[in-house]
Structure formats: structure tokens, C-alpha cells
């Protein structure tokens, strides 16, 4: 096990240096006023107690316990609720589980009323987001929702109607906005240094540890996740929307399942695959849930309640999402995005090129330079925690670099400050805005806090892309009829 922060979510994702850091460079973390004396804490319920919930549970029992408290759980799986209830009990020094009230999804309205819930944190399966957000708002609570906002146009319409009918608040948690490297690129573009943006090229590479994980879990079914264009890429589309402060209008997509899945495995001679990762030996594509205490408790030990397996074979049958995707997105201003996602790369990271009328900005990030195998042939999730494992590739060292080159000038390096927490050093900063935004001293010049309209713009690209994959034609975002005009 590594010493990564408990606020990090997925153990298969690369662990940046910021994961264990508790300090950031000057100016990175916003300033907040002290909590007014006597002000009651906001009452939070957590809807969905999988791995993703851990970031919010850790925040509300740690740094932000002075402004909020968890008062209820909502999940159909009592085993996962029990895990987090015990975590809260330990954090509060109770000597045992916290004993917080437990509800199943059909009891959401009763939960909000009986526990006087102020905010519901939605970290459930993507396909359930729209229903839970809608019902929570109408029950009288505000909502914090993990990306993606929802998976399809019907879900967008449901949420926009609920917001219009209730006037209540929806916070989107786009943590990549808060990563200093991404914030710095926003500053460069906003400064006018490269002129008016004419185009963006964005390439994202998921390696065979992290990328394969989407094909082990419920995400492998597009009905649950909307596919990687919605579940994963909504992060990326939000970044582009935010970087260039623009609205997507037309999307053309191409993609397919070309690496994972049973047919691809058979074509490459990968036969006699293990049905699941736990217990498999010498297979770099398997995940043994017993190697991570949190994964074992949340999933392996909780299987008896619902039969869900977190460690399915990524080369098994039934996968309906794509692992190779390319898009062309036209924006209202006239700029164009070209985007690609690969989920079986030998290294993990991303490259962004922003072309403008005065020059060009380039951001390159290597989050994991290569996947190391141990002596038994298993993938090493965190080389820094494995004695004898290599920790870096000298030809592809982990790190980040932002450069700007204007016409008739040499390339200039742009310093990137250090952040705190996972997701490029953005998680801990995001959580401050989520739980303390009313105490923020001054406006954020970068506008990093996101609401449901930002969520709509992000999923609009993925939803249009999914429709384009089916029709083979470009799709106008306005034809999706998402419930309101994007702005």
C-alpha cells in the first residue's frame, strides 16, 4: 500500500507527488474567512458509498468538519455503508461505528425530511445521477454531484427542469479545473498571450492499469456510464470549455472497442482468461481486490449483498463501451477541438496544444511513464511502495511542462505551481470551494467553481459524440434539446 491521501479515489490511477503533500505554492489555494461563531454546520447525506465517496467522507470528517457533518447514508448495499460508517466512527473517536441512519434509494425523500438534510452528495452510478439530483432538489436539499452530471439527454432535461422548478443549487465537482497546471493554462489563454484561440488539440492516454479499470467495473456497460465519452471525457471537455470560455456547437465522433473485450482477446490469442482478477496470478490486466484493504471492504466483502464484482476480466464478454475514441468539436467562436482518447496506452498522461492568432501554448503531462511488472508478472500499482521496483523511465519521466511560443519568438517555459491532493494537485483545493465557498475572500479570477450548466456543456459533447458514433454523422448540440440554452 502507498502513502497516498485518503482523499484520493481510484487506486489504479497514478499517484502524483501532490497526493501526499500538505502544502501548496503561494497563491494556489484561495483564502477563506473564519467560520462565524455559533454558525451551525451544514448537514450532508452521501448517496452512493462506493470508492468515489471516500473523498467527501474524508473531507467532512477532517479539514471541513467545522462547516459540515455527515448525517445519513443512502445506498442499496449495506456492506459499503457499514465500511464508511465505521470510518466516520474512527474519525470522530467514537470507539466504534458512527451509527448514522441508513436509507435505500427509494427512501431519499424520507431521508431528507427525517434527517433535516441540507445537501445530498451524489456519488452513485452515473445512470442514477439525474434521478437522484432531481428527487433531492424537489425534496428540499441542495446537491453536490460527481462528474458526469448525467449520461444522456433525458437526464439533462430532468435536471434542468428540477433546477428551474425549485431554484435550488447544484454544484459540479470538476476537480481537474483546480489542478495548477490546468489553471495556469487557463491564465495563459486568458492573458491574450497567444491571441484569439483558433483550435485545440487534446490527446489523453490511459495506461493498461488505469485504462483497463473502466473495463472491469460497471462502467463497461454504456447504459450505466454513457461510455468513456461521458464518464471520463466529460472532465476533458469541461477543461476545454473552461480554458477557451466557449460553447460547443457541433460534434463528430469516431471510435470502437479495439483492444479490450472477448472478441479482441480471441483475435490476439488471449485465451483461457481468468473470470475475475481476485485470485488470478501473473496477469498484468487483473486486479486482485485483496491487495487493497479499501477495495476488499467496499467490494469483495460486500458482494454477498448485491453480487456486484469490481474485478471483472477486461477481456470478458458484455463490454459495450469504446476504448479508442476521436472527436472533432466546433465551437461557437469558430474554434475547433480535435480530441483523442486511448485506454490501453503503455504510459499515462495527456498533451494539449492551443493554437491562437498570436502563437501557441503546449501542455504536456506524464502521470505514469510506464507500467512496471513485479516478479510474478502482476502490474505494480504504485512503484514507490514496492521495494526494488523502478520508479521512473528516464526517457519519459513523470512531470509536467507548459510552454508558450509567440510568432517570431523563442519558446518560453511557464512555471507551474505545486498543488495539493490527487488529480494533479486539485482535489484538496476543490473541496475547499465545495464546502467553504460562502466564506471565500474575493472572487476567483479563474472561475473554477462549476455548476450544473457547466456539467451540461461537458456532457453535451459526449452525448452528441455517442449519437454521432451511431449515426456516422456530425451532431448539432442544439438538436439534443438538453432543456435550456447553453451559454
Is residue 85 situated within a structural domain?
yes
Whether residues 343 and 245 fall in one domain = yes
Query: What range defines the domain where residue 113 resides?
Result: 31-173
Whether residues 360 and 212 fall in one domain = yes
Whether residues 205 and 268 fall in one domain = no
Whether residues 205 and 279 fall in one domain = no
Is residue 23 situated within a structural domain?
no
Rounded (to 5) percent helix, strand, coil in the chain: 35, 20, 40
Residue 12: its pLDDT value, please?
75
Among 130, 147, 173, where does a domain finish?
173
The answer to whether the CB of 24 falls within 8 A of the CB of 181 is no
Is residue 351 situated within a structural domain?
yes
Is residue 25 situated within a structural domain?
no
Residue 33: its pLDDT value, please?
94
Q: How far apart are the first and last CA of the chain?
A: 44
The answer to whether the CB of 240 falls within 8 A of the CB of 333 is no
Encode the chain (487 residues) as per-residue pLDDT tens digits. Answer: 334 444 555 677 776 555 455 555 556 788 899 999 999 999 999 999 999 999 999 999 999 999 999 999 999 999 999 999 999 999 999 999 999 999 999 999 999 999 999 999 999 999 999 999 999 999 999 999 999 999 999 999 999 999 999 999 999 999 999 999 999 999 999 999 999 999 999 999 999 999 999 999 999 999 999 999 999 999 999 999 999 999 999 999 999 999 999 999 999 999 889 999 999 988 999 999 999 999 999 999 999 999 999 999 999 999 999 999 999 999 999 999 999 999 999 999 999 999 999 999 999 999 999 999 888 888 887 665 444 555 678 899 999 999 999 999 999 999 998 766 665 667 888 999 999 999 999 889 899 999 999 999 999 999 999 999 999 999 999 999 999 989 7
Is residue 400 situated within a structural domain?
yes
Residue 428: its pLDDT value, please?
85
The answer to whether the CB of 115 falls within 8 A of the CB of 46 is no
DSSP letters, 414-468, are E------SHHHHTHHHHHHHHHHGGGBSS--TT---EEHHHHHHHHHHHHHHHHH
User: For position 123, which CATH number holds?
Assistant: 3.40.50.720
Is residue 17 situated within a structural domain?
no
The answer to whether the CB of 85 falls within 8 A of the CB of 73 is yes
Whether residues 269 and 249 fall in one domain = no
Whether residues 186 and 286 fall in one domain = no
The answer to whether the CB of 11 falls within 8 A of the CB of 295 is yes
Say how many domains are in the chain.
3
Report d(CA 484, CA 341) in Å as an integer. 29
The answer to whether the CB of 347 falls within 8 A of the CB of 396 is yes
Report d(CA 49, CA 79) in Å as an integer. 9
- The phi and psi torsions of 227 (rounded to 5 degrees) equal 80, 175
Amino acid at each position: 500500500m502507498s502513502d497516498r491521501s485518503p482523499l484520493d479515489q481510484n487506486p489504479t490511477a497514478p499517484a502524483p507527488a501532490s497526493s501526499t503533500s500538505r502544502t501548496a505554492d503561494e497563491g494556489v489555494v484561495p483564502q477563506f474567512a473564519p467560520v462565524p461563531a455559533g454558525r451551525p454546520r451544514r448537514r450532508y447525506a452521501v448517496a452512493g458509498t462506493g470508492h468515489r465517496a471516500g473523498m467527501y467522507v474524508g473531507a467532512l470528517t477532517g479539514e471541513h468538519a467545522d462547516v459540515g457533518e455527515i448525517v445519513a447514508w443512502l445506498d442499496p448495499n449495506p456492506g459499503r455503508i457499514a465500511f464508511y460508517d465505521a470510518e466516520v466512527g474512527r474519525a470522530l473517536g467514537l470507539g466504534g461505528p458512527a451509527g448514522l441512519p441508513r436509507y435505500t434509494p427509494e427512501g431519499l425523500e424520507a431521508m431528507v425530511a427525517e434527517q433535516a438534510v441540507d445537501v445530498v452528495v451524489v456519488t452513485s452510478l452515473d445512470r442514477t445521477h439525474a434521478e437522484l439530483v432531481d428527487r433531492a432538489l424537489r425534496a428540499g436539499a441542495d446537491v453536490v454531484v460527481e462528474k458526469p452530471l448525467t449520461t444522456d439527454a433525458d437526464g439533462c432535461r430532468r435536471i434542468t427542469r428540477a433546477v428551474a422548478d425549485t431554484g435550488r443549487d447544484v454544484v459540479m465537482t470538476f476537480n481537474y479545473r483546480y489542478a495548477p497546471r490546468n489553471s495556469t493554462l487557463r491564465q495563459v489563454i486568458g492573458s491574450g498571450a497567444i491571441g484569439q484561440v483558433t483550435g485545440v488539440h487534446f490527446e489523453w492516454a490511459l495506461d493498461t492499469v488505469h485504462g483497463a479499470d473502466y473495463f472491469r467495473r460497471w462502467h463497461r456497460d454504456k447504459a450505466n456510464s454513457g461510455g468513456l465519452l461521458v464518464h471520463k471525457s466529460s472532465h476533458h471537455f469541461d477543461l476545454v470549455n473552461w480554458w477557451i470560455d466557449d460553447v460547443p456547437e457541433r460534434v463528430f465522433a469516431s471510435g470502437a472497442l479495439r483492444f479490450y473485450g472477448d472478441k479482441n482477446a480471441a483475435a490476439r490469442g488471449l485465451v483461457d482468461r481468468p473470470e475475475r482478477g481476485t485470485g488470478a496470478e501473473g496477469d498484468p490486466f487483473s486486479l486482485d481486490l485483496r491487495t487493497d484493504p479499501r477495495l476488499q471492504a467496499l467490494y469483495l466483502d460486500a458482494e454477498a449483498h448485491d453480487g456486484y464484482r469490481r474485478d471483472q476480466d477486461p477481456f470478458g464478454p458484455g463490454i459495450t463501451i469504446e476504448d479508442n475514441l476521436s472527436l472533432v468539436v466546433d465551437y461557437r467562436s469558430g474554434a475547433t477541438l480535435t480530441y483523442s482518447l486511448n485506454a490501453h496506452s503503455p504510459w499515462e498522461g495527456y498533451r494539449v496544444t492551443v493554437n491562437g492568432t498570436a502563437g501557441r501554448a503546449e501542455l504536456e503531462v506524464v502521470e505514469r511513464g510506464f507500467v512496471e511488472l513485479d516478479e510474478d508478472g502482476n502490474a505494480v500499482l504504485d512503484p514507490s511502495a514496492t521495494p526494488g521496483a523502478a520508479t521512473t523511465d528516464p526517457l519519459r519521466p513523470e512531470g509536467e511542462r507548459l510552454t508558450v511560443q509567440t510568432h517570431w519568438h523563442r519558446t518560453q517555459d511557464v512555471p507551474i505551481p505545486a498543488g495539493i491532493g490527487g488529480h494533479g494537485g486539485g482535489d484538496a483545493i476543490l473541496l475547499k470551494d465545495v464546502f467553504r465557498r460562502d466564506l471565500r475572500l474575493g472572487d476567483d479570477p479563474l472561475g473554477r467553481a462549476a455548476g450544473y450548466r457547466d456539467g451540461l456543456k461537458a456532457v453535451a459533447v459526449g452525448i452528441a459524440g455517442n449519437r454521432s458514433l451511431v449515426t456516422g454523422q456530425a451532431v448539432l448540440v442544439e438538436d439534443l434539446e438538453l432543456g435550456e440554452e447553453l451559454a
